[in-house]
Amino acid sequence: MNIGEIARRAGVSRSTVSYALSGKRPVSEDTRRKIQQVVDELGYQPSASARALANGRTSTLGLVFPPAGNHYTGMQLDFIGSVVEAAAACDYDVLLSPSGVDSDRSFQRLLGERRVDGAILMEIRLEDDRVEHLAALDFPSVAIGRTARPEGGWWVGLDHTALVEACVHHLADLGHRRVAFVNRPEQLLRAGYESAHRGLDGFTKAAAERGLTVRTYCCGDDAASGQSCVQRILHDDPATTALVTLNEAALGGLYRGLAQAGRHVPRDFSVTGVVASRWAETVTPQLTAADVPAAELGRLAVDLLVERLDHPDAPPRHHLLTPPISLRASTGPAGATPSADAGPGTTPP
């Protein structure tokens, strides 16, 4: 079934059918109704490629994310899922494209062949050549995260500095004086991932304001790394009574490491951080955390990109979110460091 057959059955020209379907030129209401009746009877669906040729739009958004390595974290998958769902609600499909040293050809094909109308970038770095490249091309894009110079850009993000500061102040208010920070993997910190750097800045600043004794650690995105990280923390300073983490993928391992060391959460060790609520609620006791609103971030990114596509001359806009800390069960007043014969620790998740 094609436009020619619809025109024949409706008794109009092919161009009239095309104008009626695309809305590019006005068509009388009677003619439009006659054409729509034939379309409904035949169940006609214009092909995506034909629409793209006709109006210069693919109705597809690109989602550019980092290669997974061994796996994607739960938070990364939450972001991907939220973007796909929000795009579908706006009648857009999503084309996924990895972006990294070994996959730049995929990124270039996405742009060079105009497979998408615009792009959403994940896992932003402070110095991010993808953002700069798209800006130089004037290619519509929105970032989930901020570069070192976010002025004049389209982006949505979390204020990791303020969120980690809030976590530190929460622990200090509970009387904790020796606190550790569990960050993302070292290679991501070296690569300039903005969440890792801004989170570290917030931790350092708040700890200095409260006069705390602190240590900072990079940790792999998996439970085994989390367990090893706790061993290092307690080896380096056995008097540590709390930690703040940005690493939701290591959260289960952090809890297991504390249980193995005989540290009960929250009786004699408190844990908090910046984690999506559904991950914070999977551990026992549930994590007191600044909940990452992944669904909202994905929706806002799609909304901004669609706005940019529909209004190319609109001034740049952004959203910086600072969700409050959700008080659950993993933090409590600082207590004495447990003795070697301490009872059972945290229940492993």
Question: What pLDDT shows up at residue 284?
Answer: 95
Nearest CA-CA partner of 268 in 156, 173, 343, 348: 343
Q: Which amino acid is at 271?
A: V
- 64: which strand partners? 97, 121
Contact by Cβ (8 Å): 121, 130: yes
Question: What pLDDT shows up at residue 340?
Answer: 39
Q: Which amino acid is at 139?
A: F
Nearest CA-CA partner of 229 in 294, 181, 163: 181
Question: What pLDDT shows up at residue 47?
Answer: 56
Contact by Cβ (8 Å): 6, 18: no
Q: d(Cα 240, Cα 182) in Å, to the nearest integer?
A: 13
Question: What pLDDT shows up at residue 18?
Answer: 77
**Verdict on whether the full-model pTM lies above 0.75:** yes
pLDDT average per 10 residues of sequence, the chain (349 residues)? 81 84 77 86 65 65 76 80 92 83 67 84 92 90 95 95 98 98 95 96 98 98 96 98 96 97 97 94 96 93 95 95 96 70 42
| Non-local CB neighbours of 133 within 8 Å, separated by 6+ positions | none
111's tokens: 């742009």
What is the layout of strands, in order, in the sheet containing 318-321?
93-98, 60-65, 118-121, 141-144, 155-158, 318-321
Nearest CA-CA partner of 124 in 53, 194, 223: 194
Longest dimension (CA), the chain: 91
Q: d(Cα 216, Cα 245) in Å, to the nearest integer?
A: 10
